Amino acid sequence: MLRLKDLRKNKNPKQEYIAKLLNISQTNYSMYELGKINIPISSLIILSNFYNTSVDYLLGLTNEIKPYPRQNKIPY
């Protein structure tokens, strides 16, 4: 998922930081960025909140980086 890598590089955290946020190994997170393994829905939600974008953007379903208005913020 090239978008994950681009978002991470723009925000500037290391893969290790994001991996800890998701409670996974850095290797698994790297595989997410490379598109080698599927990302669980719960992780997509965490990532969309962290990067302030939508899950649709992360999945490549829209080019609109701005998130949809949210009804409830999930505290992370």
pLDDT for 26-60, tens place per residue? Answer: 999 999 999 999 999 999 999 999 999 999 999 99
State the Cα angle at 20 between 14 and 25, rounded to 5°: 90
State the pTM of this model: 0.84
Evaluate if residue 14 carries a pLDDT over 90.
Answer: yes
2-59: which CATH topology?
434 Repressor (Amino-terminal Domain) (1.10.260)
Predicted pLDDT of residue 67: 84
Nearest to 6 by CA among 67, 60, 73: 60
Q: Which two tokens stand for residue 33?
A: 């960025």
Handedness of CA 56, 67, 41, 4 (dihedral sign): positive
Domain ranges of the chain: 2-59
Mean confidence (pLDDT) of the chain: 91
* pLDDT tier for residue 2 given thresholds of 50, 70 and 90: confident
Nearest to 76 by CA among 40, 39, 37, 48: 48
